[in-house]
């Protein structure tokens, strides 16, 4: 099996895999906040270098990285052209470079960290909100369920599309959205039932 | 464990107009292998859900091991594991290992104890090689085995399965059936795969919300086939 195409965890034993999830998320957050003030090409190059080094250290195959980046390439190209025209090549490099670097860093974190470990960090950070009535554990479960449901809903969407093609229906957004929503709701209903059976509230 | 169903009638709300799906059902069962067959809409799933308190009877009472499902839902669900038809809807965590571990949270186990039990369960169901894979990469049969492992890891005394093989191809259905056959615990199996019922201790036949036959597999399956053949 080749692992995930959805930016999910890839098992491994590298330093980055063993680094606590909180440290990785904290680092990512710091890079994100720091990038707001990044204006010069040198810092941009440094950020990019950190991202690339991270991927290398985590031994993420190039193919996986490219698959992660593919959806972004069009956006990056448009941004690059826009900035080259409007504010010059240096600014274009900084804007696109920072964006790519952040995506690379996020990729490193998600590929080296189990979802439950990430969720645990969020739950821990949100812990104090317990006092204002937030059900923190429920929040964590919701996040994990969200991650789990992405591939399921993609699967449902493919089913709907195939069913419509099979019946020769023209592609229309509502003809696609309505059955997809219906199926997703039915799925959510079943998940709720399964959670109850597995003792969510017990 | 003894399953007691006393004079149970179940009516779904169905938008104001009540729809009676089970009527005056009474039975006692403590057999090791109990099968349930019947046409679509005959009330099998409702019956199955009554056994772990997912559905509470409109009238009458259901007791498992002496516990009333209406009063002791939690305790009942700890004893009664439930396996649904659609494996995708039962797997709630992103990876295989995480999903099996989900049932063990809040049980006061240490991380090592959880890992140990999860590993043993994955090994038993041939999923060890996939422990850290995202659940969506598994085949349908593997997903159903994962769903089963995730329920069994909590150590229920009774396993209720509602058409666990209906969405699977023949090979995967056979794998799940083999696994179920080897289980040491008591099983209630709702199925349309009648060959799975060979060797069962008792088979219930439902028709339009009523228990119309109750007996050994051969006779029950014969009754069910005749019933289906007689339909308009
Ligand atoms: N939640 C519900 N609300 C209303 N009607 C329901 C509900 N669940 C099932 N039914 C109806 O109850 C009848 C019996 O359903 P079910 O127990 O699922 O039968 P089976 O599993 O044998 O197909 C069907 O007519 C079905 O449409
Ligand atoms: Mg059913």
Q: Return the structure tokens found at B198.
A: 């060979």
Q: Return the structure tokens found at A137.
A: 């554990």
Same domain, A13 and A78: yes
Residue A53 CA to residue A30 CA, distance in Å, equals 17
For B138, the closest chain A residue by CA position comes to A1
Strand partners, B19: B12
- Please report the sign of the dihedral spanned by the C-alpha atoms of residue B121, residue B122, residue B126, residue B128: negative
Task: Tell whether ligand 1 has an atom less than 6 A from the beta carbon of residue B42.
Answer: yes
Give me the pLDDT at residue A1, please: 34
Q: Are B100 and B121 in contact (CB under 8 A)?
A: yes
Q: Are B53 and B67 in contact (CB under 8 A)?
A: no
In the 8-state DSSP scheme, what is residue B206? E
Same domain, A109 and A123: no
CA atoms within 13 A on the CB side of A70: 10
Same domain, A22 and A83: yes
> Closest Cα to atom 24, ligand 1: which residue?
B41
Give me the pLDDT at residue A2, please: 37
Cβ partners under 8 Å of residue A181, min gap 6: none
pLDDT in tens, B89-136: 999 998 899 999 998 988 889 989 999 999 999 999 999 999 988 888
Q: Which of B90, B94, B154 sits opposite A147 (nearest CB)?
A: B94
Q: Out of B23, B41, B55, B204, give the residue to mutate to test ligand 1, the one with the largest number of ligand atoms within 8 Å of its CB.
A: B41
| Mean pLDDT, rounded, of chain B | 94
Among A112, A115, A143, residue whose Cα is nearest residue B97: A115
Same domain, A37 and A83: yes
Convert B173-198 into a string of H (helix), E (strand) and C (coil). Answer: HHHHHHHHHHCCCEEEEECCCHHHHC
Among A4, A105, A1, A16, residue whose Cα is nearest residue A59: A16
Burial class from Cβ neighbours inside 10 Å (0-12, 13-18, 19+) for residue A25 reads: middle
Same domain, A81 and A171: no
Same domain, A32 and A101: yes
Strand partners, B25: B8
- Please report the sign of the dihedral spanned by the C-alpha atoms of residue B21, residue B26, residue B28, residue B34: negative
Phi, psi (rounded to 5 degrees) for B137 = -90, -5
Same domain, A70 and A146: no
Residue numbers of the domain that contains A151: 115-202
Ligand 1: nearest atom to the Cα of B46: 17
Same domain, A13 and A101: yes
User: Which residues in chain B have Cβ-Cβ distances shorter than 8 Å to A145?
Assistant: 92
Domain count, chain A: 2
Same domain, A91 and A121: no
Last residue of a domain, one of A97, A113, A129: A113
Cβ partners under 8 Å of residue A200, min gap 6: A141
Same domain, A89 and A151: no
Same domain, A6 and A83: yes
Give me the pLDDT at residue B60, please: 96
Residue B10, helix vs strand vs coil: strand
Q: Return the structure tokens found at B81.
A: 């594991």
Last residue of a domain, one of A92, A113, A134: A113
Task: Tell whether ligand 1 has an atom less than 6 A from the beta carbon of residue B63.
Answer: no
Cβ partners under 8 Å of residue B154, min gap 6: A198, A199, B78, B81, B103, B104, B107
Give me the pLDDT at residue A172, please: 74
Task: Tell whether ligand 1 has an atom less than 6 A from the beta carbon of residue B19.
Answer: yes
Crossing angle of the two packed helices A115-126 and A136-166, in degrees rounded to 10:
140
Q: Are B148 and B164 in contact (CB under 8 A)?
A: yes
Predicted model pTM:
0.79
> Closest Cα to atom 9, ligand 1: which residue?
B46
Nearest-CA distance A35 → chain B (Å): 30
Q: Number of H helices and number of E strands within chain A?
A: 7, 0
Could you say which residues of chain B have pLDDT below 70?
231-232
Domains of chain B, each with CATH number or no CATH: 3-229 (3.40.50.300)
Among B187, B217, B193, residue whose Cα is nearest residue B204: B217
ipTM, 2 dp: 0.88
Contact B93 A194 (CB under 8 A): no
In the block, residue with structure tokens 């088979």: B203
Q: Which of B82, B103, B136 sits opposite A152 (nearest CB)?
A: B136
Task: Tell whether ligand 1 has an atom less than 6 A from the beta carbon of residue B7.
Answer: no
Could you say which residues of chain A have pLDDT below 70?
1-8, 170-171, 201-202
Q: Number of H helices and number of E strands within chain B?
A: 8, 10
pLDDT in tens, A66-80: 877 887 888 888 889
State the distance from the centre of ligand 1 to the C-alpha of B36, rounded, in angstroms: 15
Last residue of a domain, one of A60, A90, A113: A113
Strands B19-29 and B80-83, by their bridges, are: unpaired
User: Which residues in chain B have Cβ-Cβ distances shorter than 8 Å to A190?
Assistant: 84, 86, 89-90
Same domain, A144 and A163: yes
């Amino acid at each position: 099996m080749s692992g995930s195409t959805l930016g999910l965890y890839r098992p491994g034993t590298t330093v980055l895999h063993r680094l606590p999830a909180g440290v990785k998320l904290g680092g990512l957050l710091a890079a994100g906040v720091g990038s707001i003030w990044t204006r010069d090409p040198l810092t941009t190059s440094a950020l990019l270098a950190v991202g690339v080094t991270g991927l290398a250290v985590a031994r993420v195959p190039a193919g996986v990285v490219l698959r992660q980046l593919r959806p972004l390439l069009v956006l990056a190209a448009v941004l690059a052209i826009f900035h080259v025209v409007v504010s010059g090549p240096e600014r274009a490099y900084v804007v696109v470079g920072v964006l790519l670097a952040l995506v690379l860093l996020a990729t490193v974190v998600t590929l080296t960290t189990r979802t439950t470990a990430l969720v645990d960090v969020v739950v821990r950070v949100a812990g104090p909100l317990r006092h204002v009535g937030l059900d923190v554990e429920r929040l964590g479960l919701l996040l994990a369920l969200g991650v789990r449901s992405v591939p399921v809903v993609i699967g449902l969407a493919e089913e709907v599309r195939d069913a419509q093609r099979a019946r020769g229906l023209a592609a229309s957004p509502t003809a696609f959205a309505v059955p997809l929503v219906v199926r997703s709701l039915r799925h959510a209903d079943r998940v709720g039932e399964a959670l109850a059976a597995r003792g969510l509230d017990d | 464990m003894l399953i007691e169903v006393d004079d149970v009638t179940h009516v779904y709300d169905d938008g104001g107009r009540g729809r009676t799906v089970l009527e005056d059902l009474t039975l006692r069962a403590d057999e090791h292998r109990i099968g349930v067959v019947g046409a679509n809409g005959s009330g099998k799933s409702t019956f199955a859900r009554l056994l772990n308190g997912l559905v509470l009877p409109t009238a009458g009472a259901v007791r498992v091991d002496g516990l009333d499902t209406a009063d002791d839902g939690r305790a009942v669900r700890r004893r009664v594991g439930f396996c649904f038809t659609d494996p995708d809807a039962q797997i709630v965590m992103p990876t295989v290992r995480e999903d099996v571990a989900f049932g063990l949270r809040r049980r006061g186990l240490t991380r090592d104890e959880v890992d140990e039990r999860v590993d043993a369960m994955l090994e038993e169901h041939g999923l060890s090689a996939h422990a850290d894979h995202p659940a969506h990469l598994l085949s349908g049969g593997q997903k159903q085995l994962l769903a089963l492992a995730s329920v069994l890891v909590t150590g229920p005394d009774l396993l209720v399965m509602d058409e666990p093989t209906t969405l699977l191809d023949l090979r995967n259905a056979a794998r799940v059936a083999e696994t179920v056959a080897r289980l040491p615990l008591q099983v209630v199996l709702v199925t349309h795969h009648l060959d799975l019922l060979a060797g069962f201790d008792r088979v219930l036949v439902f028709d339009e919300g009523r228990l119309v036959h109750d007996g050994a597999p051969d006779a029950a399956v014969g009754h069910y086939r005749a019933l289906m053949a007689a339909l308009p």
